[in-house]
Amino acid sequence: MSTFFGLNISRLGLQAQQKSLAVTAHNIANANTPGYSRQRAQLTTTNPLPYLNGEGMLGSGVVVAEIGRIRDRFLDTQLRQEAQTLAKWETRHSFLSQVEGVFMEPSKTGFSSVLNAFYNSWQELSLNPESSSVRAALLENGNAFTNAARHTNEQLKAVRSHMAEQITAKTEEVNTLAEQLADLNRQIVSLTAQRNSPADLLDRRDNLLKELTKIIEFDTVLNDNSSISIFIAGRALVDNNLNFRITTTAGALDGDWTLSPQPVWERDNQPLNMSNGQLAGLMETRDVLLRSYMEDFSSMVWGVINSVNDLHSTGMDLYGTSGNAFFTGSEIETLQVNDLLRNDSGLVAASMAALPGHSQPAPGDGGNALLIARLRSAAISIDPLQPDVRLRATLDPAGLTTFTNFHRDNIARLGVDTRESERLAENQTSLIGMLRQRQDSIAGVSLDEEMANMIQFQLAYQASARMITAFDEIYDTLINRMLR
């Protein structure tokens, strides 16, 4: 056993406490760094040596085995899963709120008010069929109806376009994050193989996973070499240092609705299967909810257009002629009041072609205008299986709703869906808040705890230094004084 054995033990003690103090300083410096996990120097004894002049083994000191993170992997996985669900509901609520802003119901400028004003004009015309001012007011309200229909349709399409842009942008963001994660995997594997601690790189990887969690639903597998593999519905997005790209394609037609853009795997154009995350929220909101609101709105508008045109074309104007449609246009984008009527209000067919019991028409009566005004409360049927939204809403005495009520039901359903999304997002936010508190209590930096550790390591360092002083005195006695 070397005479300097005790000195070496003290030296190892100094080094171990010095590294522990450095880790403590690193924790304190990053106390406010987002996503930082507190680190600990894991101390372990060195291999003992046989005691040559007696029985047993003699300890040989201490070393820092590794600098590890304090982290709960199960809690991390749970947080990611709940965050994916939150991202879906927040995305859904955000876009449904935009749709609510488009309809502006109930309000004086909402579509229901415009439609009621249009019907009221026909009611007024039935009482004053020859009044030019009443006819002008009708045409003005007819223009307001088509303008509102076009504007609402344009705004809904703008929301849809915004969602399409977001789908494309989020898809590219997934690719960027996957590339960065694969690169971090490579660095972590390299450091681990060299028996170096990649704690800060692991934090960086977790932060990237946190960003990816918001966008798409995925599962992770921790590999033996400390890399992770990321799977979307069982298909690899990241595998060790490899990443696989996704892209968007022009989706297929589903009736009149285009499922585009559609996220797919770049390698084989297979669609991504996901139920949570921002991408899932965007896809579901666009292709299920927004589609239903837009199609029901279009069905209602075309139902009004068709029913008014049918009655108007069979009525008679002030000149005794009939056959003109009140509205023209084959798409909502081209809807307008017939130019012939706008140029000559006398062509508005307020009269019936012939009064009951008479063979001759009566241009001055308001019977046809009254029939059109009564469309406000006319029973209608909706055929959701009709592929052409322009033909879904039809007059039907056995129908269970009206054009106005059908629109109100559509708006009410939108309100229910929006409030549900908001409530579920709030619930998820509360749950994630509790989980993050637990995570912070485990992985977060406590300055009080770090200060206590600093004092502990400082005292241990001083004690090791004092041992070196003691051994120095022993060696001085042994070397210098015994030679006198």
Residues 369 and 456 in one domain: no
Query: Do residue 394 and residue 469 come from a single domain?
Result: no
Cβ proximity of 425 and 93 under 8 Å = yes
In a domain, 437, yes or no: no
Q: How far apart are CA 63 and CA 42, in angstroms?
A: 9
Single-letter amino acid code for the residue at 157: K
Amino acid occupying residue 235: R
Same domain, residue pair 20 and 163: no
Strand partners, 40: 68
Which SS3 state, helix, strand or coil, does residue 242 take? strand
- Give how far the C-alpha of residue 352 lies from the chain's centroid of Cα atoms, to the nearest Å: 55
E-assigned strands of 272-412? 327-328, 336-337, 380-382, 393-395
Residues 256 and 317 in one domain: yes
Give the 3-state secondary structure percentages of the chain, helix then strand then coil, rounded to 5: 60, 15, 25
Q: Is residue 308 part of a domain?
A: yes
What is the C-alpha end-to-end distance of the chain, expressed in Å?
25
Same domain, 151 and 282: yes
Considering the domain architecture, whether residues 402 and 319 belong to the same structural domain is answered as yes
DSSP code for 290: I
Looking at the fold, whether 425 and 463 belong to one and the same domain comes out as no
Task: DSSP letter for 276, please.
Answer: S
Each residue's pLDDT, cut to its tens digit, for the chain (484 residues) gives: 556 778 889 999 999 999 999 999 999 999 999 999 999 999 999 998 877 676 777 788 999 998 999 999 999 999 999 999 999 999 999 999 999 999 988 888 889 999 999 999 999 999 999 999 999 999 999 999 999 999 999 999 999 999 999 999 999 999 999 999 999 999 999 999 988 889 999 999 999 999 999 999 999 999 999 999 999 999 999 999 999 999 999 876 666 677 779 999 999 999 999 999 999 999 999 999 999 999 999 999 999 999 999 999 999 999 989 999 999 999 999 999 999 999 999 999 999 876 555 555 555 689 999 999 999 999 999 998 888 888 889 888 888 899 999 999 999 999 999 999 999 999 999 999 999 999 999 999 999 999 999 999 999 999 999 998 988 888 777 777 665 5
**Would 436 be classed as within a structural domain?**
no
* Domain presence at residue 394: yes
Are both 211 and 332 inside the same structural domain? yes
Range of the domain at 474: 5-70+445-483
In a domain, 21, yes or no: yes
Give the pTM.
0.87
Same domain (yes/no): 123, 161: yes
Q: Does one domain contain both 157 and 49?
A: no
| Residue 237 maps to a domain | yes
Residue 435 lies in a domain: no
Q: How many domains does the chain have?
A: 2
Co-location of 21 and 133 in the same domain: no
47 and 84 inside one domain: no
